[in-house]
Amino acid sequence: MRRYDLDWLRVIVFGLLIFYHVGMFFVAPDWGWHIKNNITYEWIKYPMLFLNQWRLPILFVISGMGTSYALSKRTAIQFAFERTKKLLLPLVFGMLVIVPPQVYLEKLSKGLISVSYFNFWPAQAFIGTYPTGNLSWHHLWFIPYLLLFSLVLIPVFIFLRNNPNNIIIKTTAKICQNRWKLYWFITPLYLAEAFIEPFYQETHALVGDWFVITSSIFLFFIGFLLISVKETFWKTVQENRTIYLKCGIAGFTALLFIITAFEDGYVRHFTEALIKVFSFWSWILTLFGHASKYLNKPSKTLSYCNEAVYPFYILHQTITVILGYFLMNLPWNSFYKFSIMSIGTFAISWVIYEFLIRRWILIRPFFGLHYKNKLPTAEFHHQSSNSIFAE
């Protein structure tokens, strides 16, 4: 049975991603981004830190859950082909067409280039790799990581699917019956945070990005396990959603205290790592619990948004950077700029999606959508699976 709450969470989290990237335009320079407003703000980093702690982890968990649905209907070869088609084609298209304007405007704003865009693309756009060169996947980094995890874990997932009474699934079911035992899942995440992150900080370059790869593949695998025990997990998080919310508030408060009150050192690092994973896992459980209670129902709005979310993800940051470039040096109130960039990113993404991507059959695959663009009511469930993050 389809989990509509997962679809809603996916749509909501990617909607928040737009606000997050707009926030990167205004946050203090130590949070590096492609372009910055002429006035930046230190305090913005705290609400952004709150979002940042769980927004990517929950997407990898949801993606792992979606993989379970996908493999229930496909052979390993069918799954590998379908996932490669939906991920690799949009990634290549994005790197060739969508991302270059971001690189161009960043280097133009910093005085690193002075040519027009059509002298930059394609002649210079693919020379060398970013940041010294120009070829990059920028915000699309999530796609190659998801492709890697999906393909590498196929043998494990096939084994778990074909042997539902194996020790791993049985142990997961027992853990999911107890609200506190669900925190056992943070053990590998803590080990990665404590012992890998100091040596391999985030780069999103895939090669050598061992901390992100390790922690993210664990989250992806955990998502597959949680959905495999069916209602056992959902019953626990729904019944204990208020407790998890209190844990999340306490965890994030403690995390802020440690970050602001103590200097870097071994004690702070290992303590911060534990509180960080406890905090974001509590928020993930909170979101799953509340979504299960209030959002697990279909709607036409959800069906539309769930198909649109992948194209919006591919498009949004380029639109945000373009708007930011023309606003960055204007002597306007930052609230007006934030509003223009947020509303503008949503509106322009929607116009491009609705009147170009959604309606043009040949363009749809470049944004991860099926060729077929009009589906009868009987195929409602199939339409919801257009997203790479769904089944």
**What does the DSSP 8-state code read for residue 360?**
-
A 10 A CB-CB count for 43 gives 9
Look at residues 254, 281, 308 and tell me which one is the last residue of a structural domain: 281
Say yes or no: 316 and 359 in one domain: yes
| Domain presence at residue 48 | no
Say yes or no: 4 and 85 in one domain: no
Tokens (6 digits) for 234: 């959902």
Say yes or no: 348 and 234 in one domain: no
Say yes or no: 16 and 79 in one domain: no
135 φ/ψ angles, rounded to the nearest 5 degrees: -80, 125
Say yes or no: 74 and 207 in one domain: yes
Task: Answer yes or no: are the C-beta atoms of 340 and 323 closer than 8 Å.
Answer: yes
| Domain presence at residue 147 | yes
Mind listing the pLDDT tens digit of every residue in the chain (391 residues)? 689 999 999 999 999 999 999 999 999 999 999 999 999 999 999 999 999 999 999 999 999 999 999 998 899 999 999 999 999 999 999 999 999 999 999 999 999 999 999 999 999 999 999 999 999 999 999 999 999 999 999 999 999 999 999 999 999 999 999 999 999 999 999 999 999 999 998 999 999 999 999 999 999 999 999 999 989 999 999 999 999 999 999 999 999 999 999 988 999 999 999 999 999 999 999 999 999 999 999 999 999 999 999 999 999 999 999 999 999 999 999 999 999 999 999 999 999 999 999 999 999 999 999 886 444 333 333 334 445 555 5
Say yes or no: 274 and 325 in one domain: no
**Count of domains in the chain?**
2
Say yes or no: 211 and 260 in one domain: yes
Look at residues 237, 254, 281 and tell me which one is the last residue of a structural domain: 281
| Domain presence at residue 53 | no
**Boundaries of domain holding 326:** 1-43+298-391
Look at residues 281, 307, 328 and tell me which one is the last residue of a structural domain: 281
- Spatial distance between the Cα atoms of 263 and 244, rounded to a whole number of angstroms: 29
| Domain presence at residue 121 | no
| Domain presence at residue 125 | no
| Domain presence at residue 132 | no
Say yes or no: 154 and 195 in one domain: yes
The structure's pTM equals: 0.94
Say yes or no: 242 and 159 in one domain: yes
Say yes or no: 262 and 198 in one domain: yes
3-state SS of 186-237 is: HHHHHHHHHHCCCCCCCCCCCCCCHHHHHHHHHHHHHHHHHHHCCHHHHHHH
